[in-house]
Copies of this chain bind each other. A is one copy, B any other.
Amino acid sequence: MPQAGRIAEQSESAAFTPRQGDVLACALDLLVAGGEKALTTAGLARAANCSKESLYKWFGDRDGLLAAVITFQASKVRTPGNDTQAPSAEAYRDRLETFAQNLLEVLSGDVSLALNRLAIGQASRTEAPLGRLLIERGKRTVNARGQALLETGRRFGYLAFDDATDAYRTFYGLIVRDVHLRLMLGERLDGADAEFDAQARQAVEKFYRLFGTTRSG
């Protein structure tokens, strides 16, 4: 019944049966291990012990399969609910540092790197529907969460800025710098770059110097 295949449809109702989930997880493994070229229909069928016929029935064609992999992975991330309680200055700063550290951990994860590489590789042609999908499903939610976090800080007087989007972009830049690009190019992190907690602390420190108030301590 899923049929799917059309990306627009998949972005709305994305329910996969357990069996399909297993296959998609397997596809993700292949993708992580060897990039897009390593994800062939025959290879996936062999690795997942399923038939190519089922792949085409479920996902339509190869592009549909790729889109399904992305939405499948995105469906596994849950965004924590917004909070209304007033955190202390220290607690709030901790929240920022945790967010920063999480961001670094996520971006440096194998799965994230593989999917970003996939979307970027497709971005050259065909108006880049996969890139859109990845932005929509993954990046947007993270950004929204970060932005909400900053707005919480402003509401309680710890931060001062006019445009939350702009402030968040600066925060992002301070945290990520060129680390994401270097990882995508295949570089391995070493030394201080690999210590995400320290990097997160320093990024928050700088961010406070730009947007912190006296109340923020």
Closest to A127 in B: B186
Interface residues in A178-204 by Cβ distance below 8 A to B read 178, 180-182, 184-187
- Decide yes or no whether A5 CB sits under 8 A from chain B: no
Q: Is A44 an interface residue, CB under 8 A from the partner?
A: no
A8 at the interface (CB under 8 A from B): no
Interface string of A149-181 (1 = CB under 8 A from B): 000000000000000000001101111111011
Cβ of A114 within 8 Å of any chain B Cβ, yes or no, is yes
**A185 with B120: CB separation less than 8 A:** yes
Which residue on chain B has the smallest CB distance to residue A107? B181
Contact B185 A178, beta carbon cutoff 8 Å: no
Determine whether the beta carbon of B124 is less than 8 Å from that of A117.
yes
Name the distance in Å between A113's Cβ and chain B's nearest Cβ.
Answer: 8
How far does the Cβ of A170 sit from chain B's closest Cβ, in whole Å? Answer: 7
Q: Is the CB of A125 within 8 A of B185?
A: no
Within 8 A of B (CB), among A116-145: 116-117, 119-125, 127-128, 131-132, 134-135
- How many angstroms between the C-alpha atoms of A181 and B181 in the bound complex? 8
Contact-residue bracket for chain A: 35 or more
Question: Please, which residues of chain B bring their CB within 8 A of the CB of A36?
Answer: 121, 124
Say whether A206 faces chain B, with CB atoms less than 8 Å apart. yes
Closest residue of chain B to A182 (Cβ to Cβ) is: B135
Seed contacts A34-B124, A132-B187; 15 additional CB < 8 Å A-B pairs: A34-B125, A36-B124, A37-B124, A38-B125, A117-B120, A117-B121, A121-B121, A123-B184, A123-B186, A128-B186, A135-B185, A170-B174, A173-B176, A173-B178, A174-B174
Identify the A interface with B (CB < 8 A): 34-38, 114, 116-117, 119-125, 127-128, 131-132, 134-135, 169-170, 172-178, 180-182, 184-187, 206, 209-210
